Amino acid sequence: MAKVTDLVLLNKPNEKILLLGNHAIARGALEAGIAVFAAYPGTPSSELTDTIAAIAKDAGVYMEYSTNEKVAFETALSASWSGLRSMTAMKHVGLNVAADSFMSAVGMGVEGGFVIMVADDPSMWSSQNEQDTRVFAKFANVPVLEPMSVQEAKDMTKYAFEISEKYKHMVILRTTTRSSHMRGDVTLGELPEEIINKKRRLGSFEKNPKRFVDIPAHSRNFHPKILENIEKIRTEFNNSPFNWIEGEGKIGIITSGLSYAYVKEALSWLNVENVKILKLGTPFPVPLGLVEKFMKGLEKVLIVEELEPVVEEQIKFWAYDKQLNIPIYGKNIVPRIFEMDTKRAVIAISKFLNLETPLNFEKLEESYNNINSSLPPRPPSLCPACPHRNTFFAINKATKKNAILPSDIGCYTLGVLPPLNAVDTTVAMGGSIGIAHGLSIALNGALNEEIENKKDTQLIVATIGDSTFYHTGLPAIANAIYNRSNVIIVVVDNEITAMTGDQPNPGTGDTPHGSGKRIPIENIVEAMGADFVEVVNPYNIKKTTEVVKKAMEIDGVRVIISRQVCALHRVGQMKRKGIKLPVFTVNTDKCTGCRICINTFGCPAISWDNETKKAKIVPTMCWGCGSCIQVCPYGAFEVAKEAE
């Protein structure tokens, strides 16, 4: 079977291949002649970033894993200003991080086509919210393209570069979890010569302070030009190949992106014909010329879109100004929250047309809930041998669970679950340190501050991952040190960006183009002036606990780097090298059935044997870290054998 990277690089125009949505976007970027790609990984956009990283050298593309989305945006933007087609990718909350530069740069325009791929996450499968990027784009006056199929994902990407370059305006390619991760047939287009010949391209930058220096005197001229440009693009979208009218009838449905597929499926299920459909691949700006053509002869219209009423509001404003006397339905019957699917489309269209649904969905939902409630809960869990589990265990042991525990975005957020219960707050990337500092100031005061009737010091221990530390932890820790905070910060350094797929970061020193320069976290915090810095191996639980206790005896900003490579990454490397993993077992003569291993540590490889009333290890789950030996006070865990 061919590798995905081989398929994405395949130089066979008109060949049809099966691709993931994100892989199709990577192919579209290559067909557009992309020269620079910069991103910080974020699900559900990560496969695009990783694919570009894997093929960068073979396609003559410069690719980097930037430290955060703002830096990635600025890298790609400046490449565009230098005349190169460039792209950045992020998840929806990543756009928040890039927002400062994003909002300011719109008026400066672009030179080489510049596309921002933003992957939204309706239903929050792997995110802390389900914000709609189309709202952000409308706010910034940046056009949005939204694919309804894998083929469109590829073709739209190329089109996005063309529109961007034609109007000197950045363009957002908006996907969702479903469209990023669906698979479908893709007919390949031609690859440019520079991609085929692996030619790494360099641009040229022409100085123009009135354009590129965003001071008020210059930026006052930007806004009128932005609004003028967006109207030109709106007119362009009237003839976009991704917008069309189909069907006949006096009933109309307007839908965008993947919702179009759900609408078509719902109409088929309901056996409804004679419906006129306006399919939009450009939810902002809505092509109002096409809308006006669509509206002729209609008696009522339903707008089906996922999440916010972005298309609905634009069309309703237009209809009001035109004094159209046509009822327009939208979020009054289409849900504003969670993913759109065929069932939701069926229910909405049934309400719109006063039809009975083909199935009693409420009864089905009730039956499903009854079945689901009878099943044992299966919450997510840190992997077997995960070093983060050991770190949290050591923190709990040292603090006797008498600390406030802010944490961050990453695998380690799962420390919130029993039995660890080691996460008290999580807000956003890098937020753990800012929250810890704020709690310290609110509960303890600054170290140099005299406060009457001061209470006993409240212990605050923050946890943050290594990639997150570089992403947005640096400004927060500088702030905490500068303002004389009194916190312990534990950087859970698993030497990789694990949650999004094992991408490198400055702590690894690796880049898609070979070795970069490694930046050790301990060197950074020492240079910043932290009051205590020590590196520990969390697989040594005793030592880790002792270091946490040692840090508790000191005031100020204390930083512990708990460093051990991600277990999943480590096990994969060992297996590839043919190294066998040790497997542990329980000596039932020594096991007292105290359940300390289960009730305080919680490794998924350790379970309870109802017959023997002893702990037991599931051999296929054990990844051989040996932490259980350190956790058990009775020495009941032993090496059983080496796994095959």
pLDDT tens figures, 177-187 = 999 999 999 99
Q: Say if residue 277's pLDDT is above 50.
A: yes
* pLDDT classification of 466: cutoffs 50, 70, 90: very high
Asked if 463 contacts 405 with a C-beta cutoff of 8 angstroms, the reply is: yes
Of 128-132, 512-516, 540-544, 608-612, the range with the highest mean pLDDT is 540-544
* pLDDT in the model for residue 577: 84
Handedness of CA 495, 500, 503, 504 (dihedral sign): negative
Question: Coil, strand or helix: which one is 26?
Answer: helix
Q: Which burial class, exposed, middle or buried, applies to 502 when counting CB atoms under 10 A from its CB (0-12, 13-18, 19+)?
A: middle
Question: What average pLDDT does the structure give for the chain?
Answer: 91
| Tokens, residue 262 | 């759900």
642: pLDDT strictly greater than 80: no
Q: Reduced to 3 states, what is the DSSP secondary structure of residue 157?
A: helix
Chain region(s) in the chain for CATH 3.30.70.20: 580-642
Q: CA–CA separation, 80 vs 205, rounded Å?
A: 9
Among left, alpha and beta (phi > 0; psi -120 to 50; other), residue 279 is beta
Quick check: 393 and 600 in contact, CB under 8 A? yes
Q: Name the pLDDT band for 579 (thresholds 50, 70, 90).
A: confident
User: Are residues 295 and 286 in contact, defined by beta-carbon separation less than 8 angstroms?
Assistant: no
Q: Give the integer Cα–Cα distance in Å for 470 and 96.
A: 17
Taking CA atoms, 269 is separated from 338, 340, 514, in Å, by: 22, 16, 53
- Helix, strand, coil shares of the chain, percent, nearest 5, are 40, 20, 40
Distance CA 133, CA 118 (A): 7
Read off the tokens for 159. 């089109």
Q: Half-sphere exposure of 628 toward its Cβ, with a 13 Å CA cutoff?
A: 32
pLDDT in tens, 130-161: 899 999 999 999 999 999 999 999 999 999 99
Average pLDDT over residues 196-212: 89
3-state SS, residue 562? strand
Task: Specify whether the CB–CB gap between 619 and 642 falls below 8 A.
Answer: no
pLDDT in the model for residue 497? 84
Given a contact cutoff of 8 angstroms between Cβ atoms, the answer to whether 144 and 285 are in contact is: no
Distance, CA of 370 to CA of 397 (rounded, Å):
39
For residue 582, whether the previous peptide bond is cis, meaning omega lies within 30 degrees of 0, is no
Task: List the beta strands (DSSP E) in 153-250.
Answer: 171-176, 183-187, 244-246
Over residues 412-416, the mean pLDDT reads: 90
pLDDT score recorded for residue 644: 43
Written as one letter, the residue type at 408 is D
The band of 569, judged by pLDDT with boundaries at 50, 70 and 90, is confident
The CATH code of domain 387-572 reads 3.40.50.970
Average pLDDT over residues 56-60: 92
Can the peptide bond before residue 309 be classed as cis, meaning omega within 30 degrees of 0?
no
> Which phi and psi (to 5°) does residue 615 adopt?
-75, 155
Beta strand ranges found along 421-509 (DSSP E): 461-465, 487-493
Q: Check: CB of residue 80 under 8 Å from CB of residue 131.
A: no
Residue 378 has pLDDT above 90, yes or no: no
CATH fit for domain 580-642, picks 3.40.50.970, 3.30.70.20, 3.40.50.720, 3.20.20.80? 3.30.70.20
Predicted confidence (pLDDT) at residue 612 exceeds the cutoff of 50? yes
CA–CA separation, 569 and 572 (whole Å): 5
Token pair belonging to 436? 């810890």
User: Regarding beta strands 114-120 and 86-91, do their DSSP bridges make them parallel or antiparallel, or are they unpaired?
Assistant: parallel
Distance CA 549, CA 461 (A): 11
Please, are residues 153 and 185 in contact by the beta-carbon 8 Å criterion? no
Mean pLDDT across 126-133: 88
Q: Which of 566, 578, 587, 596 is nearest to 643 (CA)?
A: 578
244-362 — its CATH code?
Answer: 3.40.50.920
Residues of the chain with CATH 3.40.50.970: 4-237, 387-572
Nearest to 116 by CA among 55, 25, 193, 50: 25
Q: Which residue type does 577 have?
A: K
Strand partners, 533: 559
C-alpha span between 374 and 379 (Å, rounded): 15
Phi-psi region of 354 (alpha: psi -120 to 50; beta: other; left: phi over 0): left
Q: Which residue has the higher pLDDT, 514 or 320?
A: 320
- Cite the residue boundaries of each domain of the chain with CATH code 3.40.50.920: 244-362
Q: For residues 194 and 212, which has the higher predicted lDDT (pLDDT)?
A: 194
pLDDT of residue 434 exceeding 50: yes
pLDDT bin (cut points 50, 70, 90) of residue 4 is confident
pLDDT of 79: 92
pLDDT given for residue 317 in this prediction:
94
pTM for this predicted structure: 0.87
pLDDT band for 524, please (50, 70, 90 cuts).
very high
Please give the pLDDT value at position 1.
Answer: 52
pLDDT digits (tens, 9 = 90+) for 318-376: 999 999 989 999 999 999 999 999 999 999 999 999 998 887 777 777 776 666 666 77
pLDDT at 245 over 90: yes
Percent of the chain with pLDDT over 70: 98
pLDDT (0 to 100) of residue 239: 96
Residue 271 · residue 359 · CB < 8 Å: no
Q: Three-class SS of residue 585?
A: strand
Q: Check: CATH 3.40.50.970 for 4-237? A: yes
pLDDT for the residue numbered 111: 95
CB of 426 closer than 8 Å to CB of 416: yes
Confidence label for 643 from pLDDT (cuts 50, 70 and 90): very low
